[in-house]
């Protein structure tokens, strides 16, 4: 049985749409960050699980106020590069940055 291929473009589009829906026209507000990040991840994961039932997903969302500070993040995975994959989507407006990473692992 052939393993499904991780669909990077589709995952990116789904993630971008979830970010836009939650953050479009918003101004950074510390008290809203938990709500926004939950909305983004719940919307993204719900859509991904419906569209790609042969995958398990791990997701991470970072929302950061634009204040001139730096941020350096790295990750590493040990997986089957023929079927598994990851997407990182970076989004920003005048007041904040949002970085969402989605890891897709094929269920065997």
Q: How many domains does the chain have?
A: 1
CA distances from 78 to 5, 84, 86 (A): 16, 10, 12
Q: What is the CATH number of the domain that holds 22?
A: 3.30.1140.40
Whether residue 96 lies inside any domain: the answer is: yes
Residue 24: inside a domain: yes
| Averaged pLDDT for residues 42-58 | 96
Report yes or no on 68 lying in a domain.
Answer: yes
Examine residue 19 and state whether it is found in any structural domain, yes or no: yes
Would you list the DSSP string of 4-71? PPP-HHHHHHHHHHHHHHHHTT----GGGHHHHHHHHHHHHHHHHHHH-TTEEEEEEEEEEE-SS---
Is 70 exceeded by the pLDDT of residue 1?
no
The pLDDT value given to residue 76: 87
Give the predicted TM-score (pTM) of the model.
0.92
Q: Considering the domain boundaries, does residue 78 fall inside one?
A: yes
Whether 40 shows a pLDDT value over 60: the answer reads yes
What would the two tokens of residue 4 be? 């499904």
Domain assignment of residue 28, yes or no: yes
Asked if the structure places residue 1 within a domain, the reply is no
Residue 9 clears pLDDT 90, i.e. is over it: yes
The two three-digit tokens of residue 23, written as one number: 């953050």
74-106 pLDDT, tens digit per residue, is: 888 889 989 999 999 999 999 999 999 999 999
* Full residue range of the structural domain in which residue 71 is found: 8-106
pLDDT of residue 48 exceeding 90: yes
């Amino acid at each position: 049985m052939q393993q499904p291929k991780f669909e990077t473009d589709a995952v990116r589009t789904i993630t971008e749409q979830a970010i836009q829906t939650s953050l479009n026209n918003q101004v950074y507000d510390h008290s809203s960050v938990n709500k926004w990040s939950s909305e983004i991840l719940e919307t993204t994961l719900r859509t991904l699980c419906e569209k790609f039932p042969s995958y398990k997903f791990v997701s991470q969302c970072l929302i950061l106020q634009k204040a001139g500070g730096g941020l350096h993040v790295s990750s590493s995975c040990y997986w089957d590069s023929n079927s598994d994959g990851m997407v990182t989507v970076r989004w920003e407006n005048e007041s904040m940055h949002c970085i969402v990473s989605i890891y897709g692992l094929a269920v065997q």
